[in-house]
Chains A and B, each alone.
Chain A
Amino acid sequence: MSLKRTLILATCSALAVGCASAPKPNATYVNPDEAGKVTGVGIESQDIRAMTDRMVRDMLANPVIARLQNPPYVIIDDAYFVNEGSQPINKRLITERLMIELNRAAAGRMLFVERQAEDMVREERERKRAGEIGAGANAPVRQVAGADYRLTGRIMTLDQIDPKTGRQGRYYQITFKLVDLESGLTVWSNLYEFKKEAEAGVLYR
């Protein structure tokens, strides 16, 4: 009798513990500078951060840009930043971070032309000049800014796959160039390269 009671109690408490245990959170914050549990051969957050940080430092240290008396006007967007690799990617993840970090670090030594917001700027200017809305606090300028330099670049990959094991290797070479929009000369360039390997589980080969 006592054995049976003990068994029943043990079963009930086991069930109760099972029911009462706190649920595990489905989402957790992870460090974007580190590889997470979900990986592959694709570009990941730590690659984008490391790459853009290096380009910012290198570009600001460039003597051609540093010697300029007036802050140059620069366009940094994805219009001429081409993906020639094998991974679809939102290129703005790279160009936007690069522009924002440059803007912060340059502290006025470089100014950035937001060419992709041209329509927005034009509409505002037209409405101001038509008297639909008032003038801003700053004095109006005669023209929308042109640019001295523009960022171009390429994402390129070299892929290798072992057809027997499914092991995949991908070498990335991501190039960045700052092109003088008057002369066509490249005044600064750099590249970022890395290689990744991963192996799909046997279930998915």
Chain B
Amino acid sequence: MTLRPAILSLAVVLTACATSQPTPTRELIDTSRIPADVPVALQRAWWPIVAAPARDRVLHRLNFALAAARAGAFRPAEREFDQALNAIASVFSDRKNAKKALKLWYEEGMKDFKGEPYERAMAYGYRGLLYALAGEYDNARAAFESGFQQDAVAIDADTVADFSSLLYLKAWASAHMPISRSLAQDDWDDYQKLVPQSPLRRPAGRIAIIETGSAPRKVADGVGHAELVYRRGKGYQPNHLQTANGAVRIALLEDLFLQAATRGPRFVDRIIQNKAQFMERSLATGTVLSEIGDAAWIANIWSTAAGAGKVGMGAGYASDALGLASAISLLLSAKANPHVDTRYWAELPDRLYVVELADGATLFNETFELTYPDGWSFSVPATETVVVRSDTLEWYRVPHRFRYRPPIVYP
């Protein structure tokens, strides 16, 4: 009983250590801090870049930049992609948040967000598209190559470096670099080595990129939420795309969910699993000690009732000591935080498709037909999708409002 205040103090101290900064929700936007080239419609998407915790900044930059690019606001999109990619590519010699995220008491999400390899690869991929839209095909090619390299590190050697869409786009970009003619063939050879069965031809002219569905989601699963699993984006995702008359050959370029989900364990997962094991062991130890302490406490009552004073006092001290040890163990278990980082780039699509366009051809007058796994399909005129067009690239995004939910069938 005398040890209770000490246990309480310990609980307070440990609670204070593990508290993380809450993410601000909605707040008033100070428009004077927003760059003048950010369109009014995108100001709310830009604001978290300065308002949210610094560790989430890259995520907000990516979300804004992609939305801005699709809206045709290229200058702010390029700037925010560049800022995000600088942070992704940099190795900081001292980063407090990274060290914190490795500690037992803090969840992985305490680290500065740089995204998983599929997100980092796509960040470079979109930057490459923006370079291409600006006519800088050499930098576009470099961005696609950098994106491809993001996928080159993994525990499971079979799943590394298979981001084929970026190799395809690299070959397409180098085809537009007349000073470096031999590069185009080399880059196409690299793509064909990776995807020997690809139905695509060597890209030399104009292409159209079509994005469908919503971003793969990261979900925390398992004991202590220590396991990172991927789910397809919210809602039912279309798994086939064609034009209404079927005349245009549309090829699947990348399934981002598969890229995310088939990569195998991450290096950091070992550390997180150790945290989870510590949490489980502390919980088990605390429970056992608590039960023994309870038994000693009952023995103390019986001894006191039976008039065996010294024996009763001994059992009482033992009960207190075990209670303290149990409490410490249970607190350690409760404060260990093996929760994986589930922040994800929500603006990404589920799938990317590509169309090789003949000179002068466009998809702008076509109608896209999306088919879902249950066979249901519906049509969306290309004019109703978000469109970016240049001399060499058309970029369509079938927006979220066309998401289909399968009807509920009652038995």
| A and B held together in a complex | yes
Q: Which residues of A line the B interface, CB within 8 A?
A: 37-42, 80, 82-89, 91, 152, 154, 159, 161-166, 168, 198-205
B46 contacts chain A at the CB level, 8 A cutoff:
no
Report the tally of A-B residue pairs with Cβ distances under 8 A. 92
Selected from A41, A80, A200, the residue in CB contact (under 8 A) with B153 is A200
Q: Tell me if B275 is interfacial: C-beta within 8 Å of chain A.
A: no
How big is chain B's contact interface, by range?
A: 35 or more
Contact status B142-A87, CB under 8 Å: yes
Q: Is the CB of B91 within 8 A of A83?
A: no
Cβ of A118 to closest chain B Cβ, rounded Å? 17
> B101 within 8 Å of A by Cβ?
yes
In the complex where A202-B268, A203-B268, A205-B266 touch, is A82 in contact with B180 (Cβ < 8 A)?
Answer: yes
B152 to chain A, nearest CB (A): 4
Interface of B is mostly: helix
Q: How many whole Å from A11's CB to the nearest CB in chain B?
A: 15
Interface majority SS (helix, strand, loop, mixed), chain A: loop
User: CB-CB < 8 A to B94: which residues of A?
Assistant: 37
Contact check: which of A39, A84, A166, A202 meets B183 at CB < 8 Å?
A84
Q: Which residue of A lies closest to B170 (CB)?
A: A86
Question: A205 touching B131 by the CB < 8 A rule?
Answer: no
Q: Is the CB of A39 within 8 A of B91?
A: yes
- B108 — which chain A residues lie within 8 A by C-beta? 203
Q: Which chain B residues border A91 with CB–CB below 8 Å?
A: 139
Judging by beta carbons under 8 Å apart, are B142 and A88 in contact?
Answer: yes
Taking CB as reference atom, which chain B residue is nearest A35? B93
* Contact sample, A vs B, 6 pairs, CB 8 Å cutoff: A38-B93, A39-B91, A82-B180, A83-B142, A88-B128, A161-B153
Please name all residues of chain B whose beta carbon is closer than 8 Å to the beta carbon of A152 when the two chains form the complex. 179
- Interface on B for A, CB 8 Å cutoff? 89-95, 98, 101-102, 108, 111, 114, 127-128, 131, 138-143, 145-146, 149, 152-155, 157, 160-161, 177, 179-180, 183, 266-268, 271
Complex CA–CA separation, A86 to B142 (angstroms): 4
Residues of chain A lying within 8 A (CB to CB) of residue B161: 163
Query: B91 contacts which of A82, A87, A89, A199 (Cβ < 8 Å)?
Result: A199
Complex interface: chain B residues within 8 A of A203 (CB): 98, 101-102, 108, 111, 268
The CA-CA distance from A160 to B127 in the complex, in Å, is: 22
Verify B138–A205 contact, CB threshold 8 A: no
Whole-angstrom distance from the CB of B394 to the nearest CB of chain A? Answer: 22
A83 touches B90 (CB 8 A): no
Question: In the bound complex, what is the Cα–Cα distance between A37 and B94 (angstroms)?
Answer: 8
Closest-by-CB residue of A relative to B114 is A204
> What separation, in Å, do the CA atoms of A38 and B86 have in the docked complex?
10
Tell me if A82 and B149 are in contact (CB < 8 A).
no
B98 touches A89 (CB 8 A): no
**Once the chains are docked, how many angstroms separate the CA of A91 from the CA of B137?**
12
Contact A205 B268 (CB under 8 A): yes
Q: B142 touching A163 by the CB < 8 A rule?
A: no
What separation, in Å, do the CA atoms of A166 and B101 have in the docked complex? 19
Instruction: Please judge, given known A-B contacts A161-B152, A163-B154, A198-B91, whether A82 and B102 are in contact too, CB under 8 Å.
Output: no
Question: How far is A152 from B268 in the complex, measured between Cα atoms in Å?
Answer: 45
Please tell me if the beta carbons of B267 and A38 are within 8 angstroms of each other in the complex: no
